[in-house]
Amino acid sequence: MKTLELTKLETADAIASLRRYSDANLEPIGELAAGLLLGYFLEEIGPLIYNRAVADAQARLASLTADLSGDLWTEPMGYWPRQDAKRRAKR
């Protein structure tokens, strides 16, 4: 998988957020340092998050479709048995 890519707006927002976090919790960093850090996170840690999201989506879809035949099964050739039951009920 290639490195996750962000739009220009997403990148600018992420860099601003990293800078704010650093200012509040570490030491202030510049835009270049925050951009490099963001690039590192996207390349190194991004795939972990992406893979987890894919696995979670697969598990969710599997649980939704696990008993699909049980949920949606319809007995075939049921017209005549229903008609016979109606006739018996009218007697």
Provide the residue ranges of all domains of the chain, joining segments of one domain with +: 8-90
Please answer whether residues 56 and 63 qualify as being in contact, where contact means their C-beta atoms are separated by less than 8 angstroms: no
Which class for 15: exposed (0-12), middle (13-18), buried (19 or more C-beta within 10 A)? buried
Q: Which two tokens stand for residue 10?
A: 């997403």
pTM equals 0.66
Residues 6+ apart with CB under 8 A from 38: 11, 14, 15, 18
Q: How confident is the model at residue 1 (pLDDT cuts 50, 70, 90)?
A: low
Residues 25-83 pLDDT 10s = 999 999 999 999 999 999 999 999 999 999 999 999 998 888 878 878 888 898 999 99
Give the model's pLDDT for residue 51: 94
